[in-house]
């Protein structure tokens, strides 16, 4: 395991990344998997949205999750403020979005092998150079879980030249303090970049305090046709878990919404990632790329604080999750012509091996007889895929692909028990032989184990027409799948199996000039055996199982960018999705049918920019309301954020307000309880470049 303490504290405080306007010539890594989504915006037969570094710097978003929700049919599921324990939902996946959306960082999956999904807090905005969001497709290239979509994040690498960098410091409401830094340099073929971040906040809720540290180091070398890169990233955080509040407390007032019934619950994450790759350009012979990624995560946590118990008893209730996994891939890309038409052939192989351990109610030496439990197992997956993008002439491009692989797991569950041998002993009275326990000892005893092997298949077929320079029309059909993860398998119905689905979409992209971009898409998604956590009818136990009904999602996405004036930029989006169970017609819980966003950025005289952004989220059904009759719906909400940026040469000052109207809202709710989000908050930041 990489030592995150060394990574984070050895990084000089002078190295910082900040949200200030920077040089857009920062070089991106040559990693085909990090460039696959938007290889050609003109010919991709799927809906693709792109967020650039300039978009990030002009945004009012303070976290990755907030940034992504500016896009249509992209919704943030958040239990607490910011990105803590949050997931990104694309096209109405609901509570299982964390397993139905793939997130990549420089081509390596951020998704974990259990139900924790992707930890968005490990990717601060200051580290991001570009994000591409693919909706609906991606299963051929990215496999398991690429159902709602794929989010491809590319970080800011170093660039050549003299030492350079930027630094920022932010202060805000609830004792927010944040230091961010970035620096880089280049000598000949070598480029190096480093970032550091320290974040502290008391949070909106009682027991909502967070202390986080992040650091990255990026090395790249280019020697003729060969480029190689190595990137290390480390994240550590300690945060409180305030839990939900009742409906009555949620409505009573700000003090009640801030309160918690879990004053000592906590979670701690120590997450280290190391990735490396090389690309060899063979000219007419194609491009060969090899990539590998290593990740270790340690997550101790404590739930269910009981003030009547001693400190040692509370310590014995602490739990932890540990994961270690390695993934690697080989990709061959060949560009060639048939007549006058361009063709691209891709052949790839990828594999993942992971180990998982979850210790509940005590771990290490702090284990308790008849209380401590342990879940462990291994995941292995491997797959190969082939994809062809073929120009047909007259502006038509055909894209087709197929993937086949194997997924294996062997989860095991054990409990800490008192075990004894029994020796027949004559007992008088009553004058009979009785088994008497001897050699008693406390030990782990296996109580359940599973072994599962599934064959996975995915395919895609799409056609795009780019006959006019300003217009692209496309249509596609893509199949996708998701396998149950280790957590789900250990508390599952006997018939739990992978889900399979199909997505159809049709859309257009219109770009008549440099000032205006428009996009519109219609989509239809059908999923069989969708996995969820619910009651098993035969046993009336709550387990992970497959929906009895087929699920169907139908929707529309509209997106617009308009440079209305040299000093005025507008951006907006609207999403609609109808997420239903085919049999009952009920909505899938926690999915808003309507989402919308809009922003205006005005460049005022004197290097001053003012931004106002708003987003709307429609009402949703309670997370435990499968038939839509048990609990009141979570109300819709509209949030407004604003920021003023003033530049002074190489320095910048930012003043911002989040939730300008002090809207009372909750993103999630279960069985009538709510997770309150922050009201109006203020922040200010100072940054500079060198």
Write out pLDDT tens, residues 489-517. Answer: 888 888 899 999 999 999 999 999 999 99
Residue with tokens 């596609």: 476
* Of 447, 401, 388, 443, residue with least CA distance to 419: 443
Check pLDDT > 70 for residue 162.
yes
Give CA angle at 487 (483, 488), nearest 5°. 50
End-to-end CA distance of the chain: give it in Å, rounded: 34
What's the rounded mean pLDDT across residues 665-675? 94
Question: Against a cut of 0.95, is the pTM above it?
Answer: no
Q: For residue 591, count other CB atoms closer than 10 A to its CB.
A: 25
H or E element, residue 291: strand 287-302
Check pLDDT > 60 for residue 666.
yes
Is the N-terminal amide bond of 195 cis, ω within 30° of 0?
A: no
* Of 590, 609, 592, 593, residue with least CA distance to 601: 609
Query: How are beta strands 149-155 and 101-105 bridged, if at all?
Result: parallel
What's the DSSP call for residue 312?
H
pLDDT of residue 116: 80
Lowest mean pLDDT among 308-312, 449-453, 547-551: 308-312
What are the two backbone dihedrals, phi and then psi, of residue 283, each rounded to the nearest 5 degrees? 65, -125
492/529 Cα distance (integer angstroms): 14
315/239 Cα distance (integer angstroms): 17
Q: Are 355 and 411 in contact (CB under 8 A)?
A: no
Beta strands in 224-265 (DSSP E): 226-240
Check pLDDT > 60 for residue 26.
no
Of 305 and 521, which is predicted with more confidence? Answer: 521
Alpha-carbon distances of 440 from 100, 310, 368, 421, 502, rounded to whole Å: 47, 27, 15, 7, 56
Lowest mean pLDDT among 33-47, 201-215, 603-617: 33-47
Q: Are 573 and 72 in contact (CB under 8 A)?
A: yes
174/205 Cα distance (integer angstroms): 9
Q: Are 667 and 95 in contact (CB under 8 A)?
A: no
What are the tens digits of pLDDT across the range 1-23?
434 343 333 333 333 233 333 33
Which structure tokens are listed for 524?
């239809």
**With left for phi above 0 and alpha for psi between -120 and 50, is residue 282 left, alpha or beta?**
alpha
Bridge partners of 669? 674
Check pLDDT > 80 for residue 355.
yes
Check pLDDT > 50 for residue 24.
no
Bridge partners of 200? 177, 211
pLDDT of residue 539: 76
Alpha helices in 208-302 (DSSP H): 247-252, 254-258
128/64 Cα distance (integer angstroms): 9
Task: Compute the radius of gyration of the chain from its Cα atoms.
Answer: 26
**What is the distance of C-alpha 396 from the center of its chain?**
34
* Of 72, 37, 43, residue with least CA distance to 521: 72
What are the tens digits of pLDDT across the range 371-394?
899 999 999 999 999 999 999 999
Q: How confident is the model at residue 36 (pLDDT cuts 50, 70, 90)?
A: very low
Check pLDDT > 90 for residue 239.
yes
Give the torsion through C-alpha atoms of 435, 438, 444, 450, to 10 deg: -30
What are the two backbone dihedrals, phi and then psi, of residue 256, each rounded to the nearest 5 degrees? -70, -35
CATH 3.40.630.30 is held by the domain 164-411+450-689? no
Is the N-terminal amide bond of 620 cis, ω within 30° of 0?
A: no
Which structure tokens are listed for 578?
């109808």
pLDDT of residue 421: 86
H or E element, residue 64: helix 64-68
218/229 Cα distance (integer angstroms): 7
**In 3-state terms, what secondary structure has residue 313?**
helix
What's the rounded mean pLDDT across residues 436-462? 91
| Summary mean pLDDT of the chain | 89
471/244 Cα distance (integer angstroms): 48
Which structure tokens are listed for 256?
């009640």
Domain positions in the chain = 14-155, 164-411+450-689, 412-449
Q: How many residues does the chain have?
A: 690
Of 102 and 448, which is predicted with more confidence? Answer: 102
Which structure tokens are listed for 505?
């979409």
H or E element, residue 526: strand 516-528
pLDDT of residue 82: 82
Percent share of the chain, pLDDT over 90: 71
Which structure tokens are listed for 233?
């990233």
Which structure tokens are listed for 361?
């109610």
Check pLDDT > 80 for residue 307.
no
pLDDT of residue 59: 93
pLDDT of residue 2: 38
Domain covering 14-155 in this structure, CATH number = 2.170.130.10
Q: How confident is the model at residue 41 (pLDDT cuts 50, 70, 90)?
A: low
Which structure tokens are listed for 456?
């996975």
164/198 Cα distance (integer angstroms): 20
Q: How confident is the model at residue 156 (pLDDT cuts 50, 70, 90)?
A: confident
**Spatial CB neighbours of 505, under 8 Å, sequence gap ≥ 6:** 46, 47, 135, 136, 474, 475, 476, 521, 522, 523, 524
Contacts 24+ apart (CB under 8 A), 435-444: 442/367, 442/369, 442/416, 442/417, 442/418, 443/416, 443/417, 443/419, 444/374, 444/414, 444/415, 444/416, 444/417
Check pLDDT > 60 for residue 31.
no
Q: How confident is the model at residue 488 (pLDDT cuts 50, 70, 90)?
A: confident
Check pLDDT > 70 for residue 42.
no
Give CA angle at 640 (639, 642), nearest 5°. 150
74/67 Cα distance (integer angstroms): 10
Q: What share of the chain is helix, strand, coil (3-state, %, to 5)?
A: 10, 60, 30
Q: Are 128 and 103 in contact (CB under 8 A)?
A: no
314/505 Cα distance (integer angstroms): 52
pLDDT of residue 328: 92
Percent share of the chain, pLDDT over 70: 92
* Of 601, 561, 513, residue with least CA distance to 50: 561
Q: How confident is the model at residue 158 (pLDDT cuts 50, 70, 90)?
A: low
What are the two backbone dihedrals, phi and then psi, of residue 97, each rounded to the nearest 5 degrees? -60, -35
Alpha helices in 403-485 (DSSP H): none
């Amino acid at each position: 395991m990489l030592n995150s303490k060394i990574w984070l504290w050895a990084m000089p405080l002078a190295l910082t990344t900040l949200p200030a306007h920077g040089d857009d010539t920062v070089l991106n890594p040559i990693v085909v998997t990090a460039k696959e989504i938007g290889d050609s915006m003109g010919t991709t037969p799927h809906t693709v949205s792109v967020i650039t570094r300039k978009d990030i710097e002009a945004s009012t978003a303070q976290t990755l999750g907030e940034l992504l929700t500016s896009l249509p049919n992209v919704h943030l599921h958040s239990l607490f403020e910011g990105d803590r324990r949050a997931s990104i939902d694309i096209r109405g996946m609901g509570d299982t979005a964390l397993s139905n959306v793939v997130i990549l960082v420089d081509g390596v999956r951020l998704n974990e092998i259990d139900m924790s999904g992707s930890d968005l807090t490990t990717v601060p905005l200051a580290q991001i150079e570009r994000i591409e969001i693919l909706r609906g497709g991606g299963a051929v290239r990215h496999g398991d879980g690429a159902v709602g979509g794929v989010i491809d994040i590319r970080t800011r690498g170093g660039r050549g030249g003299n030492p350079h960098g930027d630094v920022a410091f932010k202060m805000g409401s609830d004792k927010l303090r944040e230091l961010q830094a970035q620096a880089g340099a280049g000598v000949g073929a070598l480029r190096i970049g480093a970032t550091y971040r320290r974040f502290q906040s008391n949070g909106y809720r009682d027991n909502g305090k967070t202390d986080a540290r992040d650091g990255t180091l990026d090395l790249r070398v280019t020697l003729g046709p060969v480029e190689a890169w190595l990137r290390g990233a480390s994240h550590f955080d300690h945060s409180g878990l305030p839990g939900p509040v009742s409906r009555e407390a949620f409505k009573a007032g700000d003090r009640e919404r801030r309160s918690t019934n879990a004053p000592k619950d906590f979670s701690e994450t120590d997450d280290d990632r190391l990735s490396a790759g090389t690309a060899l350009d063979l000219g007419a012979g194609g491009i060969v790329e090899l990539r590998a990624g290593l990740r270790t995560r340690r997550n101790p946590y404590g739930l269910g604080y009981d003030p009547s118990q001693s400190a040692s008893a509370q310590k014995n209730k602490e739990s932890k999750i540990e994961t270690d996994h390695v993934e690697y891939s080989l990709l061959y890309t060949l560009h060639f012509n048939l007549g006058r038409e361009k063709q691209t052939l891709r052949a790839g192989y990828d594999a993942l091996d992971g180990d998982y351990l979850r210790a509940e109610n005590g771990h290490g030496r702090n284990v308790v007889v008849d209380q401590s439990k342990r879940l462990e197992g291994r995941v292995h997956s491997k797959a190969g895929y082939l994809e062809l993008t073929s120009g047909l002439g007259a502006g038509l491009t055909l894209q087709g692909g197929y993937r086949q692989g194997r997924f294996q797991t062997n989860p095991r569950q054990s409990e800490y028990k008192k075990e004894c041998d029994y020796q027949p002993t004559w007992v008088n009275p009553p004058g009979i032989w009785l088994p008497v326990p001897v050699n008693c000892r406390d030990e782990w005893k296996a109580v359940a184990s599973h072994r599962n092997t599934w064959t996975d298949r995915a395919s895609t077929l799409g056609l795009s027409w780019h006959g006019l320079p300003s217009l692209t029309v496309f249509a596609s059909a893509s199949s996708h799948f998701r396998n149950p993860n280790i957590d789900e398998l250990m508390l599952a119905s006997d018939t739990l199996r992978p889900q399979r689905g199909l997505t159809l979409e049709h859309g257009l992209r219109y770009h008549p000039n440099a000032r205006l971009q428009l996009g519109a898409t219609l989509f239809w998604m059908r999923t069989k055996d969708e996995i969820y956590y619910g009651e098993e009818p035969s046993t009336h136990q709550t387990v992970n199982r497959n929906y009895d009904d087929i699920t169907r999602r139908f929707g529309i996405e509209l997106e617009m960018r308009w440079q209305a004036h040299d000093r005025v930029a507008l951006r907006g989006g609207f999403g609609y999705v109808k997420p239903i169970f085919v049999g009952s017609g009920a909505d899938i819980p926690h999915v808003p049918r309507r989402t919308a966003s809009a922003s205006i950025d005005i460049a005022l005289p004197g290097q001053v920019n003012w931004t106002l952004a708003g987003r709307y989220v429609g009402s949703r059904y309670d997370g435990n309301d499968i038939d839509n009759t048990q609990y009141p719906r979570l109300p819709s909400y509209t949030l407004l954020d604003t920021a003023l940026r003033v530049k002074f040469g190489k320095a910048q000052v930012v003043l911002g307000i989040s939730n300008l109207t002090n809207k009372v809202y909750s993103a999630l709710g279960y069985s009538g309880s709510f997770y309150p989000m922050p009201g109006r908050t203020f922040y200010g930041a100072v940054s500079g470049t060198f």
